[in-house]
């Protein structure tokens, strides 16, 4: 201990402690600013929209009169849209992640594919809207249908789900794979019975975040040409529909002040749908975390 310069050590420790306190204060201010901004936004939305939020608002169709305006067609349309987006994006995304992590060889081509999938996660949503307009609306002739919008939204969130599923699969310890092989299981049995159940919490977390983005996106729907006002409900996947973001966007851009309050009520409904989706995903994730 006599060879240690205590003055130098204390001087450096004091600098580190001061630096730690400064950065801690900066992070606290940043977090507080974000929480205060979120709280103010929620207060404004709830205070404006709670007066229009009743059962008639849920069961009525859109109207030019704010007091009679409802969100029935948009709410049902969003549920139809998610019934396409969820299975298509999750099945394709998880399957792609399994292939890239468990079957694909480590070479330049596969590394190039992985890199481009990660890059696609940051592409603006309007680009996917243009892609959906070209392929699904015009080339395949799906027109302004639920199927065209659902496939477009699936392309939008597919890279996010693939990347999240890859990370979840990588997090599964190799010891579990080796133990499964040691018991005589095949590659596919190991994936189905060991890897996927252990990776489900991470896969669900990424999937629900991606689906939350899809249900709140407006730009791709605008590019495809989805209408904002409908007086009927869709009966099939090739029918025309409208969605919650489109209806809220139409109300918010109107000059009448009353429609701003109606838009706030629509945002509350959208948040309730998102919270319900998140709650279901968290329940399933916690259930599998206890087992694995």
148 and 264 share one domain: yes
Per-residue confidence (pLDDT) for residue 3, from 0 to 100? 60
Do both 112 and 23 map to the same domain? no
Model pLDDT, residue 289: 66
Residue 99 in any domain: the answer is yes
Position 282 scores a pLDDT of 78
Which residues, in sequence order, are bridge partners of residue 227?
Answer: none
User: Do 176 and 109 share a structural domain?
Assistant: yes
- Check whether residue 39 and residue 62 sit in a common domain: no
Q: For residue 185, what pLDDT is reported?
A: 84
Answer yes or no: do 107 and 153 share one domain. Answer: yes
Q: What is the pLDDT of residue 202?
A: 85
- Whether 95 is covered by a domain: the verdict is yes
Whether residue 135 sits in one domain with residue 45: no
Residue 248 within a domain: yes
Tell me the C-alpha distance between 63 and 61, whole Å. Answer: 6
Q: In this structure, is residue 1 part of a structural domain?
A: no
Got the DSSP string for 171-210?
TS-HHHHHHHHHTT--HHHHIIIIIHHHHHHHHHHHHHHH
CATH number at residue 71: 1.10.3720.10
Question: How many domains does one find in the chain?
Answer: 2
47 in a domain, yes or no? yes
43 and 80 inside one domain = no
Structure tokens at 147: 């199927």
Q: Are residues 30 and 108 in the same domain?
A: no
Q: Are residues 129 and 39 in the same domain?
A: no
Residues 157 and 64 in one domain: yes
pLDDT at 194: 86
Reference 181, options 124, 260, 102, 284; nearest CA is 102
Q: What is the pLDDT along the chain (292 residues), one digit of tens a residue?
A: 456 666 766 777 888 888 888 999 999 999 999 999 999 998 988 888 888 888 888 888 888 888 888 888 888 999 999 999 999 999 999 999 999 888 888 888 888 888 888 888 888 888 999 999 999 999 998 888 999 999 999 999 999 999 999 999 988 888 888 888 888 888 888 888 888 888 888 888 888 888 888 888 888 888 888 887 788 888 889 988 888 888 888 888 888 888 888 988 889 998 888 888 888 777 877 776 655 5
Domain holding 28, by residue range, is 6-52
The whole-number pLDDT of residue 2 equals 56
**How far lies 105's CA from each of 28, 189, 192, 238, 257, in Å?**
45, 20, 20, 40, 59
The verdict on 29 and 161 lying in the same domain is no
């Amino acid at each position: 201990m006599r060879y240690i310069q205590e003055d130098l050590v204390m001087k450096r420790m004091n600098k580190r402690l001061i630096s730690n306190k400064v950065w801690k204060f900066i992070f606290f201010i940043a977090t507080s600013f974000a929480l205060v901004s979120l709280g103010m936004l929620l207060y404004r939305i709830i205070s404006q929209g709670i007066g229009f939020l009743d059962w008639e608002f849920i069961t009525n169709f859109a109207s030019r009169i704010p007091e009679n305006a409802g969100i029935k067609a948009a709410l049902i349309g969003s549920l139809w849209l998610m019934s396409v987006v969820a299975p298509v994006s999750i099945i394709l995304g998880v399957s792609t992640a399994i292939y890239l992590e468990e079957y694909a060889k480590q070479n330049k081509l596969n590394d190039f594919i992985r890199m481009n999938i990660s890059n696609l996660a940051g592409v603006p949503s309007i680009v996917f809207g243009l892609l959906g307009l070209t392929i699904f609306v015009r080339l395949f002739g799906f027109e302004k249908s639920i199927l065209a919008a659902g496939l477009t939204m699936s392309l939008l969130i597919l890279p996010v789900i693939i990347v999240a599923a890859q990370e979840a699969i990588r997090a599964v310890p190799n010891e579990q794979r080796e133990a499964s092989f040691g018991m005589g299981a095949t590659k596919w049995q190991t994936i189905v019975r060991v890897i996927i159940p252990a990776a489900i919490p991470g896969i669900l977390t990424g999937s629900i975040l991606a689906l939350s983005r899809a249900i709140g996106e407006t730009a791709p729907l605008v590019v495809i040409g989805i209408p904002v006002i409908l007086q009927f409900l869709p009966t099939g996947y090739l029918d025309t529909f409208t969605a919650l973001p489109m209806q809220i966007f139409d109300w918010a851009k109107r000059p009448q002040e009353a429609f701003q309050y109606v838009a706030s009520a629509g945002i509350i409904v959208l948040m309730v749908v998102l919270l319900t989706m998140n709650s279901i995903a968290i329940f399933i994730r916690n259930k599998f975390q206890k087992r694995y």
